[in-house]
Amino acid sequence: MTREKRPAFSAREDAAEELLGHRFARPELLTEALTHRSAARGKGSNERLEFVGDRVLGLLVAEWLAERFPNEREGALGRRLAALVSQPVLAGIAEAAELSQVIDVAPNEAKAGVKRRATVLADALEAVIGALFLDGGLGPARAFVRRAYEPVLAAQASPPKDPKTALQEWAQARGLDLPQYVLAERHGPPHAPAFSIVVSLAGRTGSGSAGTKREAERMAAAELLSHLS
């Protein structure tokens, strides 16, 4: 993407435009999308754009899945969608897209390695997708999502099982009690809560943390399945 650099843009935002493949008409959207709440310093953090990007990403992935797998039923498409928009996948895509290099966090948080935390990376990815949509509509957001997601989607040969369903089936096949999920901790501000869930089965446990109980339970189930397998 060849273009004249705008004087008001910092090197961070300029590099981000290169990574996203889009020149922003409203550069303040990109600045906001890259700003972690620890670095807000009186300006907006990326939490509102994350909210928008989450919905846009779901729409664009659902659209793509319907095109790519025209003969699959809704249940199979839903499992693919849930896996593709899960926090671990989002974080991996954000890392592959090198977003960790352009996220703005407070200096002390940067020293603690916050930029590489899965929650921070996933939130940043959704925020930049939200910014792309608000700046240029579905076109730029779709182009970025399909480019970034292509390797992941290509590797998803068959619809994955939801981790909670797979864990329940594992227990039932062995005549065991169903998995037990317990809320271990709820933390964070009211507008951005985080939940930590512990799941127990067959004397083993798994844990997960996410912005919703449902996602935290999925992550905990996935971790426990990896131990049981």
Asked if 170 contacts 225 with a C-beta cutoff of 8 angstroms, the reply is: yes
At 205 the three-state DSSP class reads strand
Q: Letter for the amino acid at 23?
A: R
Query: Could you give the CA distance from residue 155 to residue 95 in angstroms, rounded to a whole number?
Result: 17
Is 126 labeled as catalytic in the residue annotation? yes
Q: C-alpha dihedral over 196, 198, 199, 205, to 10 degrees?
A: 140
Q: Which of 17, 32, 104, 126 is catalytic?
A: 126
Q: How far apart (Å, rounded) are the C-alpha atoms in residues 100 and 130?
A: 17
Are residues 136 and 29 in contact, defined by beta-carbon separation less than 8 angstroms?
no
Neighbouring-strand partners of residue 185: 196
Helix (H) or strand (E) holding 204: strand 204-210
Choice among 13, 17, 47, 54 that is catalytic: 54
Give the chain's radius of gyration (CA, Å). Answer: 19
Q: Which residues are catalytic?
A: 54, 126
